[in-house]
Amino acid sequence: MAEWVGWFVAAGAVLILELFTGTFYLLMIAIGIGAGGLVALAGGNGSWQAMTAAIVGVAATLLLRRSRFGRAGRRDAAQDPNVNLDIGQSVAVAHWVDGAARVMYRGALWDVELIPGSDTQAGHYTIRAVRGSRLIVG
């Protein structure tokens, strides 16, 4: 078996692993391995193949890290509806006392705090965040 075939088989295996992870980082490593395979196909020796695979893989990974796809969206868990399913739900507030209230929500009494700049009128409010046992509504 030719050397370049081994490189491309390895790149394919890494691509298959990428399908299970859901990130693009293994894809960047597979690109580097493919570049090593191209050098092997062009007739380069083993050290040039490995060096090319390493340089291209690291460069592609760094470029991915700097792109918008590589940055993790840092979001506060207290305001993330994917973490806390209460966010986006509605609560009925009967009356406010200095920007705070108590409401029955999911069978328990909760402290409710109003987002600054909102009206303190009785009515239905949407939960925007959860801090401990306090619902932040707006």
Query: Coil, strand, or helix at residue 123?
Result: strand
Q: Residue 110 is part of a domain; what is its CATH number? A: 2.40.50.140
Q: What total of structural domains would you count in the chain?
A: 2
The pLDDT assigned to 83 comes to: 75
81 domain residue, yes or no: no
The pLDDT assigned to 132 comes to: 83
Residues 9 and 54 placed together within one structural domain of the fold = yes
In terms of residue numbers, what domain contains 122?
Answer: 89-137
Q: Which residues of the chain fall short of a pLDDT of 70?
A: 70-78
The pLDDT assigned to 6 comes to: 94
β-bridge mates for residue 108, sequence order: 105
Burial track 33-66 (b if 16+ CB lie within 10 A, e otherwise):
bbbbbbbbeeebeeeebeebbeebbeebbeebee
Residues 55 and 97 placed together within one structural domain of the fold = no
Residues 58 and 93 placed together within one structural domain of the fold = no
Residues 101 and 50 placed together within one structural domain of the fold = no
Residues 46 and 111: their CA atoms lie apart, in Å, by: 67
Would the pTM of this model clear 0.75, i.e. be above it? no
